[in-house]
Structure 1
Amino acid sequence: MKIKYLLTLALVTSLTTGCASIFNGSTQVVNIRSNDADARLYVNEQYMGKESAIYTFKKKENYVIRAEKDGCKSNIVTPEKSFDPTTLLGILIDWGLISILVVDGAATGAWQEFTSTSYVIDPECTA
């Protein structure tokens, strides 16, 4: 009886998790900095501080990073994403039907990853 319970629990767990979300998570920590000590940094219009910031990006979301300084033109960077190949391990679990399409794709967005976890962005100032 106990073995059936453990096997059922293992099956349900494997069907409700995706490989990319298990191994790499559904978030990425991103470092943002500017070479200008007075630059104000924003992520999706949220003020993050001056000169440097650390932010946790959800893989399912899209972000815009902005650096601005009085008297200068704002500079904007949109972080790019790429496919996370770890996602394909879900084929071994359930042929990818639940683990890839539902969990790593629709629910967590873990089937993609940000191509960079470090950004240097400066406002455009004319000398």
Structure 2
Amino acid sequence: MKTIFTALLTCSILFSTGCATMFNGSSQTVNIRSNDADAKLYVNEEYMGKNNAVYTFKKKENYVLKAEKTGCKTTTVIPTKTFDPTTLLGVLVDWGIISILVVDGAATGSWQKFNQTSFVIDPDC
């Protein structure tokens, strides 16, 4: 009984995280700034401040960045994602069944990463 418990505990620890999540995390810190000191910056309609902001993007989520200024046209940027190759290390752990499909994919979205971690967004004046 003790051997079965130890084996199950070991398997659950091994399969509880994916490689991309383990090595790169499930979020990325992103810097957003504007060359216009009066520009208001927004992330998904949430006001972040004027001129510059730092935000933590969850890899599983999608975001819309905006820069607004009175009398100017609002500029919108949608950050893009690409596949994170670190995810493929899960093939060595459990053939990717749990670590890639469940943990890195469905649970955390860590099989993707944002292409940029710094954005300069200026309103169109």
- For the aligned pair, the TM-score class normalised by the smaller chain equals over 0.9
SS in 1 for 2:97: coil
How big is the alpha-carbon RMSD for the aligned residues of Structure 1 and Structure 2? Answer: 1.4
- Structure 1 letter corresponding to 2:44: N
User: 2: distance between equivalents of 1:70 and 1:124?
Assistant: 11
Unaligned runs of 5+ in 1: none
State the Cα distance separating 1:9 from its structure 2 match.
3.0
Q: How many residue pairs end up in the alignment?
A: 125
State the Cα distance separating 1:7 from its structure 2 match.
5.1
> TM-score, normalised on structure 1?
0.93
Equivalence map 1:21-60=2 (5 Å)? 21-60=21-60
| Worse-matched range after superposition: 10-19 or 59-68 | 10-19
User: 2: distance between equivalents of 1:110 and 1:29?
Assistant: 14
User: 2: distance between equivalents of 1:117 and 1:3?
Assistant: 46
SS in 2 for 1:123: coil
Identity among equivalent positions (%) equals 68
User: 2: distance between equivalents of 1:85 and 1:79?
Assistant: 19
State the Cα distance separating 1:53 from its structure 2 match.
0.1
User: 2: distance between equivalents of 1:29 and 1:3?
Assistant: 42
Cα-to-partner distance string for 1:87-126 (whole Å, 9 max, x where unaligned): 000000000000000000000000000000000000000x
State the Cα distance separating 1:16 from its structure 2 match.
1.5
- Corresponding residue of 2:84: 84
> TM-score, normalised on structure 2?
0.94
- Corresponding residue of 1:124: 124
